[in-house]
Amino acid sequence: MKNSTISRRGVLKGSGMLLAGAACSTRVMAAAPPAEPITPELIQAAKKEGQVSYYTSTDLPVAEKLAKAFEVTYPGIAVRVERTGAERVFQRIGQEYSSGIHAVDVVNSSDAAHFIVWKRDGILAPYVPEDVAKFYPSEHKDADGQFASWRVWLSIIAYNTSMVKAEDAPKSFADLLDPKWKSKIVKGHPGYSGTIMTATFQLQRDLGWTFFEQLAKQNVMQVQSSADPPKKLELGERAVMADGNEYNILQLRDAGRPVEPVYASEGSPMIIGPNGIFKGAPNPNAAKLFQSFCFSREAQQLAIDVGGLRSVHPQAKEKPNWIPLKDIKTLKDDPAAVEQQGTAIRTRYTRIFHV
C-alpha cells in the first residue's frame, strides 16, 4: 500500500456481482475469524489508548450522537469524529496511507465499493463483533469478516403533501414521466452524490437509459447532494422529488413537515454504508470496542431513532409509522459495477440532462 495510489477502478476490474455489503475478493481468506466478545480486558486496553478516530460520511448529528453514546457507555474513551462526504473520506485515507500516515481507526462510507478497494489493498483488519456474527444476514457482512453493513437506507420518490394530493401522487418511476409533472420535479446528481450515483446505476440497469432521457424532458430541477431534494420539497420549490435520501424524508415527516415518501412499484434503490477497522489503526483496541458498539442493538436503534436510517439488526425496532424495510420492494446494490461504470454513468447523465 505504501508508495502506491489507491485506484478503485483498477482493483475492481473483473469483480462480479455483490449483494448489499458483502464483497468478492481475489484474495480470499480461509474463513472469517471467530466472533470477538467485549471483555473486561478489551475495555481496559481501550481505556489505556483513550480515544478512537472515526472517519465517516454519516450525517454529522447522527455521528456525534453515536460518539456521545459510546463515550457514556465507556467513560474515558473519546471518539474523534471526522465527518465528510464519502468520496472525500476515500481520498483522505488514500492520501494518508500513501504517505505512511495511519490516523484512522474505524471508517464508515456510503460507497460500499470503497471497502472492496481497501480489502483488496490488504489494509482492513478482520474483526467480527458478536452482534454481527449472531444477528446479521450473510449478505450484509463480509465473508472474511472485514466489514459489515452499519447503516442501510433507500433512495426514494416523495411529494409535498401541501401541493399534491395522495391520490394524485406518483406511484412509480414511470409515473414521473407524466406531462403533469413537468417543471415540478427535483433530483440529485450522480456526479456529486454517492447515494445518487448508486441509485442512478440501479435505475439505468433495471429501467434503461430511456427512462432518464424521458425524465430529462420534464424540466427537472437539478441539485447536488441526496439531501437537497428533500429540502427543496419541504420548501415547496418543487412538488415531487425523483430521488433523494429516504431518511431525510422520514425525519421531516416525523417532525410534521408536509412531505410523504413513495416506494416505487418498480422497487426503490437500496444504499449500503459499511463499517470497517484498519490494520494500521493507531488505537486497535478502542477501534474493536467502538466497532462492536456500532453494531449493537443500542447503536442500531440510535441510527433509526436519530438518523431515520434502516437497520438489518433484528432487535432494532423501526418506528410504527414507517413501512418496514422487509415490506418494501428494493433494487439490488452492486458496488463493483458502480465503480466500473461510474465514469460512463456520470458522462452519459450529464449529456442527457445538460448539467
Taking the C-alpha atoms of residue 170 and residue 215, their distance in angstroms, rounded to an integer, is 13
As a whole number, the mean pLDDT across the chain is 90
Is the pLDDT at 269 greater than 50? The verdict is yes
Report the C-alpha gap between 106 and 51 in whole angstroms.
11
Q: What was the pLDDT predicted at 2?
A: 39
pLDDT reported for residue 30: 53
What is the predicted pLDDT for the residue at 31? 73
pLDDT-derived band of residue 192, with 50, 70 and 90 as boundaries?
confident
Is the separation of the CB atoms in 67 and 54 below 8 Å? yes
Mean per-residue pLDDT, 10-16? 34
The answer on pLDDT for 324 being more than 60 is: yes
Distances (CA, A) of 32 to 18, 42, 127, 147: 18, 20, 8, 11
pLDDT digits (tens, 9 = 90+) for 194-205: 789 899 999 999
Task: Compute φ and ψ for 240, nearest 5 degrees.
Answer: -140, 145
> Cell match 422520514: residue?
250
**36-93 confidence digits (pLDDT tens):** 999 999 999 999 999 999 999 888 899 999 999 999 999 999 999 999 878 789 899 9
> 307 near 273, Cβ under 8 Å?
no
C-alpha closest to that of 333 among 275, 271, 261, 248: 271
Angle between helix 297-307 and helix 60-73 axes, rounded to 10 deg:
150
In whole angstroms, give the CA distance from residue 12 to residue 8: 6
Q: Give per-residue pLDDT as tens, 87-100.
A: 789 899 999 999 99
Binned at pLDDT 50, 70 and 90, residue 214 comes out as very high
Q: Tell me, rounded to whole angstroms, the distance of Cα 168 from its chain centroid.
A: 31
